[in-house]
Amino acid sequence: MRSRGGGSGGIRGRSRFAVLGMLTVEPMSGYDIKKFIETSVAHFWRESYGNIYPLLNRLTEEKLVRRRTQRQKGKPDRHVYSLTARGRTEFLEWLGEPVEAETVRSELLLKLFFGRHLATERLESHLEEYREHQTRLLAALRGTREMLDRNHADHPDLRYWLLTLRRGELVARARLQWARESLHGFAKNPGKK
Amino acid sequence: MRSRGGGSGGIRGRSRFAVLGMLTVEPMSGYDIKKFIETSVAHFWRESYGNIYPLLNRLTEEKLVRRRTQRQKGKPDRHVYSLTARGRTEFLEWLGEPVEAETVRSELLLKLFFGRHLATERLESHLEEYREHQTRLLAALRGTREMLDRNHADHPDLRYWLLTLRRGELVARARLQWARESLHGFAKNPGKK
DNA sequence: GTCCTCATGTAACGGGTTACATGATTCT
DNA sequence: AGAATCATGTAACCCGTTACATGAGGAC
């Protein structure tokens, strides 16, 4: 019996397709992939180097990507990866499959759920911090959007990138609204409702 | 050097405080905890039995909870856990600490981000499914809210429970709005924007 | 008869993070 | 002088899920 356990979906991890997908944009090194993720999908997806590098090696073994090595002076060799035909096929297959249930976990909500045991000021400071975080996030999203409009107005992926940005903005706004509303609620009625 | 690796926050897992917190509501068995989670915080937190039971054993060893065993006919012994003073203290400590950065990963957004490579119908079906999912979620949240108002109108935790529900509703509505808006966008302009 | 609920637990496994290791170059 | 950027990689380790194992009693 060898198909037990494992995250949420057998042997096919989530990260592999993220990486594969980034390579549909253009050939990149592991380092590039990380940077690109940070400036494009960071609001809904992250990867660490400790995940990316071993992954790229596995993908190379599986012939889903091809590696070209560029020698550099004073720096380690730069490995530029590009999709193979098989890699592209597998990626497209995944892309068409229904989205698997997402595991959501919000530590903030968990803390608020038990908020009765928390001093009102602490509770408010949690909300406060959250509000600030969402504000920063919104600003970052707007920044990204402006950057895209400026630098990538003709990029074939632009439309889809904006789609995800838009969701980020709408959700961040809703969270912001909720944080404000909740803070007002506690300001008016510190002890109880 | 023994404090390497590990999720996001050293040896203190996220689940332990979720479990500890549930026991502030009332003493419960592992089974109860799971059920309670499903009817209260499921929209932002989940736990599996395979996590809960071993966790309760560890918490018992660490003297953060106390176990009472109830014998039953035809069923396994029922273990009812309650917080110890130490357990309560550790829980309250955690409750006051700032919320750690949350890892967000949305497979849907990842797929849409690469949407250029997807046939428009498939892309729409992803959005469609998401829209339905959010609609069901909203209905469930409203159901929970009504249930709370009916059965727990005087529960000391009610206010905080409603707070988390409210966030669930606002965010689900925003996501729903986004899904509709995006579907309209693609209906009008299937090929490109 | 078959399915659901109650009830607890273990084994296997995949996944992903953080910290460490290394080191030249360029910016401040 | 010190920090950040470029660049790749490994080791340790925690976290949590799924599938399996077991079994009585009640509902339909």
Long-range contacts of B79-88 (CB under 8 A, 24+ apart): B79/B29, B79/B30, B80/B27, B80/B28, B80/B29, B81/B23, B81/B27, B81/B28, B81/B29, B81/B30, B81/B56, B82/B23, B82/B27, B83/B20, B83/B23, B83/B24, B87/B20, B87/B23, B87/B59, B87/B63, B88/B24
Task: Give the number of A-B residue pairs with CB atoms closer than 8 Å.
Answer: 185
Q: Beta-strand (E) ranges in chain A?
A: 65-70, 78-83
Tell me: the pLDDT tens digits for A61-76? 999 999 999 988 777 8
Lowest mean pLDDT among A118-127, B59-68, B95-104: B95-104
Residue numbers 5-24 of A with CB closer than 7 A to any atom of strand C: 5-7, 9-15
pLDDT at site B76: 82
Nucleotide closest in space to B75 (CA vs C1'): D24
Contact list, A118 vs chain B (CB under 8 Å): 92, 95-96
Q: Which tokens go with B142?
A: 């409203």
Do B159 and A91 count as a contact with CB atoms less than 8 A apart?
no
Separation between the CA of A52 and the C1’ of C27 (whole angstroms): 28
The C-alpha of B64 sits at a distance from chain A's nearest C-alpha, in angstroms, of 17
Task: Judge whether residue B38 contacts strand D, using its CB and a 7 Å cut-off.
Answer: no
pLDDT at site A6: 38
Q: What is the mean pLDDT of chain B?
A: 91
Contact list, A161 vs chain B (CB under 8 Å): 113
Task: Judge whether residue B87 contacts strand C, using its CB and a 7 Å cut-off.
Answer: no
Q: Calculate mean pLDDT across residues B169-192.
A: 91
Do B167 and A175 count as a contact with CB atoms less than 8 A apart?
yes
Task: Judge whether residue A78 contacts strand C, using its CB and a 7 Å cut-off.
Answer: no
Residue numbers 51-70 of A with CB closer than 7 A to any atom of strand D: 53-54, 56-57
Angstrom distance (rounded) from CA A80 to CA A32: 9
pLDDT at site B103: 86
pLDDT at site A12: 67
Q: Which tokens go with B50?
A: 């395979």
Residue numbers 7-66 of B with CB closer than 7 A to any atom of strand C: 7-8, 29-32, 35, 49-50, 53-54, 56-57
pLDDT at site B190: 75
Tell me: the pLDDT tens digits for A144-156? 999 899 889 999 9
Q: Of A40, A110, A173, which is closest to B45 when you measure between CB atoms?
A: A110
Q: Calculate mean pLDDT across residues B52-77.
A: 92
Q: Which residue of B has its CA nearest to A88?
A: B117
Q: Of B98, B113, B160, which is closest to A41 when you measure between CB atoms?
A: B113
Do A118 and B96 count as a contact with CB atoms less than 8 A apart?
yes
Nucleotide closest in space to A81 (CA vs C1'): D8
Is residue A43 over pLDDT 90? yes
Long-range contacts of A54-57 (CB under 8 A, 24+ apart): A55/A15, A55/A16, A55/A19, A56/A19, A56/A30, A56/A81
Is residue A193 over pLDDT 60? no
The C-alpha of B93 sits at a distance from chain A's nearest C-alpha, in angstroms, of 10
pLDDT at site B191: 67
Q: Supply the pTM of this predicted model.
A: 0.91
pLDDT at site B5: 41
Q: What is the mean pLDDT of chain A?
A: 91
